[in-house]
A and B are shown apart, each in its own frame.
Chain A
Amino acid sequence: MAAKGLADKVRETQVWKSIFRHGPPDNARNRAAVVAGNVFLHLHPIKLKKSGVQLGYTWCMGGLTFFIFLALTVSGVLLMFYYRPTAEYAFNDIIALREHVPLGIMREIHRWGAHAMVITTWLHMFRVFMTGSYKPPREFNWGVGVILLVLTLLLSFTGYLLPWDQLAIWAITVGANMAKATPFLGHGGPGASLAQIGDFVLVSDKNDVRFQLLAGRFVGEPALLRFYILHCVFIPLVVGTLIAVHFWRVRKDGGISAPL
Chain B
Amino acid sequence: MRELINWIADPIRSFPIVCVLFYLMMKYYRVVGSKKFLYVALAVIIPTAVWFAADPNFFTILILPDNIPIIILLVLVGYLTWFSLHKAAINDERIEQGLGPVEGTPENREKVWCWPNLVYTELFAIIAATSFLIVWAILFKAPLEEPANPTWAPNPAKAPWYFLGLQEMLVYFDPWMAGVVLPGVVVVGLIAIPYIDTNPKGNGYYTIAERPVAQWGFQFGWLVLWIYLIIVGTFLRGPNWTFYGPFEYWDYHKVVAEYNVNLSEFMWIKWLNTAMPENMFVREILGILLSLAYMIVLPPLTAATKYGKMMIEKVGQMRYYIFVVLLLLMMSLPIKMVLRWLFSLKYIVALPELELNL
Contacts and interface: CB of A to CB of B under 8 A. Distances in A.
Contacts of B141: 98, 108
Among B117, B148, B175, B193, the one with the most A-chain Cβ atoms within 10 Å of its Cβ is B148
Nearest to B355: A190
Nearest to B104: A259
Nearest to A144: B191
Contact of A105 (B137, B144, B201): B137
Contacts of B160: 156-157, 160, 171, 175
Interface string A27-55: 01001001100000100111111110111
A74 B354 CA distance: 48
A46 B118 CA distance: 10
A252 B177 CA distance: 38
B113 A31 contact: yes
Interface residues of B, number: 96
A135 interface: yes
Interface stretch (A3-11, A13-21, A123-131, A228-236): A123-131
A123 B77 contact: yes
Contacts of B199: 135
Given A131-B204, A168-B148, A181 B114 contact: no
Contact of A91 (B133, B147, B355): B147
A157 B153 CA distance: 19
Contacts of A108: 136-138, 140-142
Interface string B66-87: 1011001100110010011001
B112 A53 contact: yes
Contacts of A82: none
Contact of B69 (A47, A71, A112, A166): A112
B80 to A, nearest CB: 6
For A110, A116, A123, the residue with the greatest tally of chain B CB atoms inside 10 Å of its CB is A116
Interface stretch (B16-24, B205-213, B293-301, B333-341): B205-213
B104 A166 contact: no
A168 B158 CA distance: 10
B162 A259 contact: no
A160 B162 CA distance: 12
A245 interface: no
Nearest to A30: B115
Contacts of B174: 181
B181 interface: yes
Interface in A203-253: 218-220
If over half of B's interface residues share one DSSP class (helix, strand or loop), that class is named, otherwise mixed; here it is: helix
Nearest to B119: A41
Interface residues of A, number: 102
Which of B76, B107, B149 is most buried by chain A, counting CB atoms within 10 A of its CB?
B76
A182 B183 CA distance: 11
Contacts of B202: 132, 135
Interface string B191-224: 1011101011111111100010010001000100
A134 B103 contact: no
Interface string A148-169: 0110010011001001111111
Contacts of A163: 144
22 contacts: A25-B116, A31-B115, A44-B114, A44-B119, A49-B111, A51-B108, A53-B121, A56-B87, A67-B126, A68-B133, A91-B144, A105-B134, A108-B136, A125-B190, A131-B206, A135-B197, A165-B148, A166-B147, A178-B180, A181-B179, A189-B180, A191-B354
Interface of A: 25, 28, 31, 34-35, 41, 44-51, 53-57, 59-60, 63-64, 67-68, 71, 87, 91, 94-95, 98, 105, 107-113, 115-116, 118-119, 122-123, 125-127, 129-136, 138-139, 142-143, 146-147, 149-150, 153, 156-157, 160, 163-171, 173-175, 177-183, 186, 188-194, 218-220, 257-260
Nearest first, the 3 A-B pairs at minimum CB distance are: A178-B179, A108-B137, A139-B194
Interface of B: 66, 68-69, 72-73, 76-77, 80, 83-84, 87-88, 100-104, 107-119, 121-122, 125-126, 129-130, 133-134, 136-138, 140-150, 152-154, 157-163, 166-167, 174-176, 178-181, 187, 190-191, 193-195, 197, 199-207, 211, 214, 218, 222, 351, 353-356
